[in-house]
Amino acid sequence: MNLLALEPERLLGAVRALLAAKGIASPAEIAERIAATDAASPAQGARMVAIAWTDPEFRALMLADGTRAAESLAIPMRGAPPLGVLENTPDLHHLVVCTLCSCYPRAVLGYPPFWYKSAAYRARAVRDPRGLIAEWGTTLPPATKIRVVDSTADYRWMVLPLRPAGTENWPADRLATLVRETDMIGVTLVATPGDHALNSFASPRPQA
Amino acid sequence: MDHEGLRAHHDLGGAQKYLCQGIDQAAHALTDFDKEVDAIRGVLGAKGVMTVDELRRGIESLPEADYHRLTYYQRWICSIADNLLARGVITEAELAAALAES
């Protein structure tokens, strides 16, 4: 049988019916799985980042073992590949890609965005990362190195971005609202509060 | 340094064909089809019926034209069905019958 000649919706319908009839995957199990996956979102990763910015002990744990750090916040990691965390510094910026497909730390960031899975992103990230992130309006000082890290089926990466200026004394839950999925992949920088349109270290601080 | 002729077509790091292509940053919401396929793979994985590596093998062995023609989760359902058949979890006759009923 040539599966590729079939209408994918029909193929799904047939697979769904067979798995249900054989007691392998019931509609209820599938619905439960969808609900669990929908519950994972970039808000989980953002919470980890914000706590890492405010709690040195948690930061050390997160950099040493992302999976354990996530679990310590009751984020479900069972069945997920190990999570590695890449620490951005003023001298070193990280960018995550999966050149072979779409490997992504779904437990802490949710479903990967469409562009992350695109051929253009996968091709360009390893060849011209600086030019690539410029498409998001992100510019780094020329002296800042960029390290591109390939996520794989067996190991998933997220970025611990730099804490933006102007957030001293902010509690973690407020800091978490600043952190976007793109910041944790490395195509953007966490913007200084009130300056969300810009993505540059050199961007002027807003007047208080 | 030119490995273009040697690489598998899913191995896109640095692939010249896409180096000048812009990034479509728009959010594309997953469809019900996408979410269901994703969930079925998850259930099959959790029950030990099929691994992520088997999913990948099925996707990576799609002919190049089909790989790029199909959407992301359309590739997945083709790979899932292929794996279920290869493992004998379902038979071609059962699949044909189920397709006829759908």
User: Which structural domain range is residue A28 located in?
Assistant: 11-38
Q: Is the pLDDT of residue A204 over 70?
A: no
Q: What is the pLDDT of residue A207?
A: 40
Which position has the higher pLDDT, A206 or A80?
A80
pTM: 0.87
- pLDDT tier at A157, thresholds 50, 70, 90: very high
In this complex, how many residue pairs, one in chain A and one in chain B, have their CB atoms less than 8 Å apart?
A: 169
Q: What is the pLDDT of residue A153?
A: 84
Is residue A206 situated within a structural domain? Answer: no
Answer yes or no: do A97 and B13 touch at CB < 8 A. yes
Answer yes or no: do A3 and B52 touch at CB < 8 A. no
Query: Shortest Cα distance from B5 to chain A (angstroms)?
Result: 15
Is residue A205 situated within a structural domain? Answer: no
Q: What is the pLDDT of residue B2?
A: 52
Q: Is the pLDDT of residue A149 over 50?
A: yes
* Residues B51, B27 contacting (CB under 8 angstroms): no
Question: Which among B16, B46, B96 has CB closest to A79?
Answer: B46
Question: Options 1.10.472.20, 3.40.190.10, 3.40.109.10, 2.40.128.50; which CATH number does B25-101 get?
Answer: 1.10.472.20
Is residue A5 situated within a structural domain? Answer: no
Query: Considering its fold, how many domains does chain A have in total?
Result: 2
A23-58: pLDDT as tens digits: 999 999 999 999 999 989 999 999 999 999 999 999
Interface confidence, given as ipTM, is 0.91
The pLDDT mean for chain B works out to 92
**A21, A115: one domain:** no
